[in-house]
Amino acid sequence: MSDWPFLSEHDDLRRSIRAFVDAELAPHADDWEAAGDFPDSVFARLGELGFLGLGYPEEYGGGGGDYLCRIVLAEEMARCNSGGVALAVAVQTDMAVPPVYKFGTEEQRHRYLAPALAGEKIFCLGISEPDAGSDVAGISTTARRVDGGYLVNGRKTFITNGRRAHMMTLVARTDTDEPHKGLSLLLVDTESEGYEVVRTLDKVGMHTSDTAEIVFTNMFVPLENLLGGEGDGFYNISWELQGERLAGAAGAIAGARRTFEMALAYAGERVAFGRPIGMHQAVKHSLADMATEIESARQLVYMAADMVNRGEYPVREISMAKLLTGQVAWKVADKALQIFGGYGYTMEFPIQRAWRDARLIRIGAGTDEIMRDVIGRIEGL
């Protein structure tokens, strides 16, 4: 351990998280996948152990650690053998909750951030709509100013934790005439009148992660639940997306390494033509390529994470890491399934789950195409 950019204290944390994941999450993965859900008590347990607040100040119940602590968590959660569980936790730690700390008032931090870090309040992030995913400026959900707050109307979809959440960090349009400057963030209590989960989406992968479609009908949000300044939502959510993308990249490439290890073990056990299939050049070279690509992508993630940890805002490097890890994770999962052959295509072997789950990273938090656009603009195109 102690590989750059991590220090010995990160290694101690990694061992602690790994012991928890191996003992309390991984053994239940198959049952949770079959049920298409996992218990909310997982959040409470993570909060009890301090894992939800690793990179947050102690005054709000956090661990006071640095940003790299959150990368360690994202990597180790890949060991739970359920991409949906890891994703649900990442929404809490690196997507929906960070804006509460970054842009929230002291009252909002104590009222919402502290219970989120304790695992008492589960959060979701309300960005995507049926007609606006990567195009944040195209969001049409409105928050009309009324006496004492806002009336929200609209629809959100692909909302991870949307069914189980107690709170939503919502992106809504407070000014219909300004595509970018007209967006604002609101903290929404999901028990509010007018908040309705209309369906839970049936997905190819990430089965344990509930993904909801939600409708708002004249839902009142009090003025004190405005997060940051009115009209600052586009900037604020653009900041949030960088953390979301880097956490996703770290988890994806850690998952790819786990998938590679399954394929490597199988290649050493499965015999064909009188010897383990890993001794055949085609399989050996495929595994060598997988290991090389995983390590290359992981080092790019670490470089971006180190820059964030030093207080930089490396959009270029984060976008590259997100793009590359998504492609590598999917390629590794596909090659690994090929090594497993017919058995890999059955539901009896977990490689099919890794194959299904890996595909999402190339879509969520900004598609491959959006990442290429961002990188191209930064490079001067």
Q: Give the residue among 27, 81, 86 at the shortest CA–CA distance from 261.
A: 81
Among candidate residues 299, 344, 301, the one with its CA nearest the CA of residue 319 = 301
244 has catalytic annotation: yes
Kind and range of the H or E run holding 169: strand 167-173
| Catalytic pick among 129, 230, 244, 293 | 244
Q: Are 80 and 86 in contact (CB under 8 A)?
A: yes
In whole angstroms, what separates CA 277 from the centre of its chain? 35
Least Cα distance to 171 among 159, 161, 163 occurs for 159
Q: Which residue has the tokens 């000014």?
A: 175
Contacts of residue 173, Cβ cutoff 8 Å, sequence gap at least 6:
139, 140, 141, 142, 143, 182, 183, 184
CA distance 138 to 135: 5
What is the Rg, in whole angstroms, of the alpha carbon atoms belonging to the chain?
A: 21
What span, in angstroms and rounded, lies between the C-alpha atoms of 357 and 32? Answer: 14
User: Active-site residues: which are they?
Assistant: 244
